[in-house]
Structure 1
Amino acid sequence: MTTLSIFNQSQPERASKVTENPAEIRDLLARQGVRFEQWPTKDLPSDAFQEDILDAYSEEVSKLKEECGFQTADVISLNPDNPQREAFRQKFLDEHTHSEDEVRFFVRGQGLFYLHFGNEVFAVLCQKNDLISVPDGTRHWFDMGPEPAFTCIRLFTNPEGWVADFTGEDIASRLPRYEALAGAAE
């Protein structure tokens, strides 16, 4: 189930608030400038090709491109049997920012976005049918867990795709990881 856990960075061991209510999650994130929606999912095979996934969601993706100026969309998929899964996980685990919005729509599986606002960190466990748009310049990181199993549509304004500017802060290492938060949500 989609879950939002809010932590104070001075007490990272315990969430000050946890909610699984989609409307409350949407509203709390909107106050921080984060777009959160839940789209109806399409029945697609787990091994669907990128083109099939983008075709299935072409109307939604076209709408976002027109509304927000995105230039490209692609699909990223990772499974527990990927021999480079730990390297992929490590790539996203440090706090960073982007010069464009980071948009993900979960077609399958789940992943955990951490969003750092002042003294608070919002940990959003996104699930199948969740769309999250992290505004440019927002400090954040992503944890896919030790056994990643997800497929996401990504949208970009920059044709180069995912480009991160790492902050050098250690906040990500002080908060509970995917294993603790995803297990608590189930």
Structure 2
Amino acid sequence: MAGNTIQRKRYTNTIKLNLADETQIFDPFSISPKGFLSISGTAADENLRINNEIIEYLKREIEYIPIINNLSIEIEMPPQKTEILKQLINKKLRREIDNLLKENKRKKRTAGILTFFGLAVFSIYTIVPYFRDRAALNELFVIMSWVLIWRAVELFFFERAGNNLKRRRLLQIYSADYKRKNP
């Protein structure tokens, strides 16, 4: 029975998004004064930005859904505008996911540098006999090295884990299935 594995059933959770007016999709300062009618129908226009309230709402709602579950976003608005909304949400989420990845790389690099300095301080006090003979300097070097190494551990394991969780939540929204609510 070595080949048999138990697979957990993946459930689909639904977030309901009710947009009464089509102009609620966009950040008010990114659309032209003529309103929604001047929009070409795609989110390729670089001036168009999604209303941050929509993204914040999705982030709040996703906190209560297990990461392993699939996500479906049910939108109440005209069907041709649903694709524009999906493009704008994904465009915004891509930017946030990229920022989290860059931040994780920076934290990983900083943790490596701090570990190196912590080990260097520890090595200096171990190699040079002058520092071992002075009790105060000895303790100072030990404390400095452990502070640097502990900060590196915090960055590498704890803070990156929080960013990875945020990134997985954003990816869950990014890969969501968008459906139009039937009236």
TM superposition score category, shorter chain reference? under 0.3
* TM-score, with structure 1 as normaliser: 0.23
Query: Which of the pair has more CA radius of gyration?
Result: 2
* TM-score, with structure 2 as normaliser: 0.23
Which structure carries more helix by proportion? 2
